[in-house]
Amino acid sequence: MSDGVLGDLNELFHVKARLGIMTLLISQGESDFSTLKAHLGLTDGNLGAHIRVLEEAGYVGVEKGFVGRRPRTTCRVTEAGRKAFAAYLHQLEALIRMVDPDKL
């Protein structure tokens, strides 16, 4: 899909789990791994894999630390992630506008 309707839609965000992760991180500022897991109903492995994809793209930063003796992984959206996600949401908005509500 090189051009047309959805030409440059960022497919990295266009995956349900990652859309959920980005939405939560942006609306909450930051979040730890367990909170994300609980909100999204994902397994450890699944959430970890999606976070890694976002981290490798430079969209999410991950910090590992401890709260007392318990390990805690905190994720937050980077500046690049914020910009890219804003662009993605604008594309979705444009798409929604393209569909005439009278036809729905």
Give the separation between CA 34 and CA 11, rounded to whole angstroms.
Answer: 25
- Taking the complex as a whole, how short is the minimal distance between the CB of residue 34 and its own copies, in angstroms? 14
8 Å CB contact between 28 and 40? no
Q: Which residues bind its own copies (CB under 8 A)?
A: 1-7, 9, 11, 14-17, 19-20, 23-24, 26-27, 29, 39-42, 82, 85-86, 89, 92-93, 95-96, 98-100, 103-104
Alpha-carbon distance 5 to 16, whole Å? 20
Which lies closer to its own copies via its Cβ, residue 3 or residue 70? 3
By beta-carbon proximity to its own copies, the closer residue of 65 and 79 is 79
16 to 19, 21, 50, 64, 84: CA distances (angstroms): 5, 9, 10, 25, 16
- Closest approach of Cβ 77 to its own copies, in Å? 9
Nearest distance in Å: CB 66, its own copies: 27
CB of 68 to its own copies, least distance (A): 27
